[in-house]
């Protein structure tokens, strides 16, 4: 059966190796999960049919066993009635029923084995699907990170890193020049303030000297007290 072959292929497949070799792991894991889910549906349908077949075989087997017992009773009844011809016919029917029972028992055993294998396959497939889904989120995250890293490396390969760093250095020099101008302006502003204060102090000193000069001149122009008394 094709379904058994497909299940065997999936069971023997190494999901980790398949994903490691895939060019697009997220796409691959989605395909794997989709295919396994599709196979799981088919296996469940096959298992449902196997269960139905097993139940039908069981009913036929019980019927044939009942018929064999019935022909056994009829043969005994015919013997009691001295009807050996009928007894022989009943025994022949019983033998046929017993043969049918043997065939049905073999068919039932095969059906039960198939059903058991299908149940195991379903459990295995469910485990494989759970494994793939558990890795799906991690794989998608890793793939996204890898794409980003690849994009960064491509950008870096297109532009010379030394040129980029040289551009940064030029910007730093421009900023240094601007900061120097600001410091120079602040320094000149401070010098102007000091000069103004010094000018005020100089003016005050000149005013004081002028007043002293006037005082001396005034005292020099006044007549002495001795000259006044002599005259």
- The domain that holds 82 is classified in CATH as 1.10.287
| pLDDT band with cut points at 50, 70 and 90 for residue 223 | low
- Does residue 74 sit in the same domain as residue 172? no
Contact assessment for residue 132 and residue 28, using Cβ atoms and an 8 Å cutoff: no
- Does residue 228 form part of some domain? no
Q: Which residues contact 131 (CB under 8 A, 6 or more apart)?
A: 15
pLDDT at position 231:
40
- Does residue 138 sit in the same domain as residue 199? no
Domain termination residue (choose one: 136, 158, 180): 158
- Does residue 133 form part of some domain? yes
- Does residue 191 sit in the same domain as residue 79? no
Tell me which of 42-51, 119-128, 140-149 is least confident: 140-149
- Does residue 21 form part of some domain? yes
- Does residue 76 sit in the same domain as residue 97? yes
- Does residue 33 sit in the same domain as residue 102? yes
| pLDDT band with cut points at 50, 70 and 90 for residue 16 | low
Domain termination residue (choose one: 158, 175, 194): 158
Tally of structural domains, the chain: 2
Stretch 205-227: mean pLDDT: 71
pLDDT at position 13:
53
Domain termination residue (choose one: 109, 138, 158): 158
Give me the domain span that covers residue 196.
Answer: 165-220
Quote the CA–CA distance of 26 and 177 in Å, as a whole number: 52
- Does residue 78 form part of some domain? yes
Q: Residue 121 burial by CB count (10 A; 0-12/13-18/19+): exposed, middle or buried?
A: buried
- Does residue 229 form part of some domain? no
- Does residue 230 form part of some domain? no
Quote the CA–CA distance of 112 and 118 in Å, as a whole number: 10
Residue range 57-83, pLDDT digits in tens: 999 999 999 999 999 999 999 999 999
């Amino acid at each position: 059966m094709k379904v058994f072959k497909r299940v065997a292929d999936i069971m023997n497949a190494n999901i980790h190796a398949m994903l490691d070799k895939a060019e697009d792991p997220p796409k691959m894991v989605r395909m794997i999960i989709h295919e396994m889910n599709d196979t799981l549906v088919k296996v469940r349908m096959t298992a449902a049919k196997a269960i139905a077949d097993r139940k039908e075989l069981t009913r036929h087997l019980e019927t044939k066993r009942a018929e064999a017992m019935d022909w056994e009773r009829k043969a005994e009844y015919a013997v009691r009635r001295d009807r050996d011809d009928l007894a022989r016919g009943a025994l022949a029917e019983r033998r046929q029923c017993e043969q049918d029972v043997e065939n049905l028992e073999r068919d039932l055993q095969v059906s039960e084995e198939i059903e058991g294998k299908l149940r195991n396959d379903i459990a295995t497939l469910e485990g494989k699907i759970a494994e793939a889904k558990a890795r799906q989120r991690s794989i998608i995250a890793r793939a996204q990170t890898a794409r980003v890293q690849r994009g960064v490396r491509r950008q870096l390969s297109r532009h010379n890193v030394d040129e980029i760093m040289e551009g940064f250095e030029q910007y730093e020099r421009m900023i240094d020049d601007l900061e120097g101008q600001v410091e120079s302006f602040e320094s000149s502003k401070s010098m102007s303030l000091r000069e103004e204060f010094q000018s005020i102090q100089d003016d005050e000193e000149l005013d004081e000297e002028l007043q002293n000069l006037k005082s001396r001149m005034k005292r020099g122009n006044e007549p002495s007290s001795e000259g006044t008394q002599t005259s």
